[in-house]
Amino acid sequence: MVSIKSEEEIELLRESNLLVGMTLGEIAKHIRPGITTLELDRIAEAFIRSHGAVPGFLNYDGYPYTLCISLNEVVVHGLPSEKCILKEGDIVSVDCGTLKNGFYGDSAYTFEVGKVSDEMHELLETTKESLYKGIEKAVAGMRVGDIGYAVQSYCEARGYAVVRELVGHGVGRDMHEEPPVPNYGRRGQGVLLKEGMVIAIEPMIARGERYVYLDDDGWSVRTRDGKPCAHFEHTIAIRKGKADILSSFEYVERVLEQLH
């Protein structure tokens, strides 16, 4: 069963998701060569708690941190570590969740560390754009397969591969609700989208092949061929005509504009 959220519930989801956006903005200020991913995690946890919320990922399925921080060939669920130091040319996906007033926020952004290659830059641009291609189809009357088709066709036409083992999801009082939202699919297939559904769309797009494996650490998902992978995620509410994006990259992008 896919739940339909009331307007009141959607406003609470917006609050939680805006806090994720603000947290990603705070992290954006600290992304630079030399910082460890554990330092970024500590900053995010303190920031979320100081805003009357708790980290949404911490202790979720036993996950031990606030953020998932995934460098280069790590697709998602990278574990923050004091041994993991950002270096010039890396790309780093920061996935953040919050739990505020009983509702989850969930959003991710992939950052450039210092100057990255044109190839890396293009991977990030393509992945982010594919998220918005998916969001364009996320309106009442369309189906989940229309979202996946939009993401997949945009990326594959440009020579990129769509990771299939991990997918988007409904969001609400639980972080992972029905329905699953794959980043691949067929037009007109799958769950019918209705006004008031809230879903996270989160393309994971690879430079090489789409195949992945689970690292020995039990969390990090890596590309099999070791090529880089990017990840962007928004939580959105389904409406008639146009999706309502509940999370926000505005805080991040404001910080990045000031830095460059």
Q: Which residues bind ligand MF3 (CB under 6 A)?
A: 57, 60-61, 63, 68, 77, 95, 97, 106, 169, 200, 202, 233
Nearer to ligand MF3, 180 or 196 (CB): 180
Nearer to ligand MF3, 102 or 114 (CB): 102
Quickly count helices (H) and strands (E) in the chain: 5, 15
Residue 5 contacts residue 197 (beta carbons within 8 Å): yes
Q: Select the binding partner of residue 26 from ligand MF3, Co ion, none (C-beta < 5 to 8 A, by kind).
A: none
Residue 102 contacts residue 134 (beta carbons within 8 Å): no
Among 45, 106, 146, 177, contact with Co ion (rule: CB under 5 A): 106
Q: Select the binding partner of residue 61 from ligand MF3, Co ion, none (C-beta < 5 to 8 A, by kind).
A: ligand MF3
CB of 45 to Co ion, least distance (A): 18
Nearer to ligand MF3, 112 or 233 (CB): 233
Give whole-number Cα distances, 4 to 14, 16, 101, 135, 147, in Å: 15, 18, 18, 18, 19
List, in sequence order, every residue forming a beta bridge with 69; answer none if it has no partner.
94
Q: Select the binding partner of residue 222 from Co ion, ligand MF3, none (C-beta < 5 to 8 A, by kind).
A: none
**Cis status of the peptide bond prior to 179, with omega within 30 of 0:** yes
User: CB burial class (10 A; 0-12, 13-18, 19+) of residue 157?
Assistant: exposed
CB of 96 to ligand MF3, least distance (A): 8
Nearer to ligand MF3, 92 or 116 (CB): 92
Which residue in 251, 152, 166 sits closest to 202, CA to CA? 166
Nearer to ligand MF3, 25 or 203 (CB): 203
Nearer to Co ion, 71 or 201 (CB): 201
CA–CA dist 96, 159 (Å, integer): 28
CB of 232 to ligand MF3, least distance (A): 11
Q: Select the binding partner of residue 132 from Co ion, ligand MF3, none (C-beta < 5 to 8 A, by kind).
A: none
First to last CA, the chain: 46
Q: Select the binding partner of residue 68 from ligand MF3, Co ion, none (C-beta < 5 to 8 A, by kind).
A: ligand MF3
Q: Select the binding partner of residue 60 from Co ion, ligand MF3, none (C-beta < 5 to 8 A, by kind).
A: ligand MF3
CA–CA dist 83, 114 (Å, integer): 19
Would you say the C-alpha torsion 62, 55, 130, 74 has a positive or negative sign? negative
Residue 167 found at the interface with Co ion (CB under 5 A): no
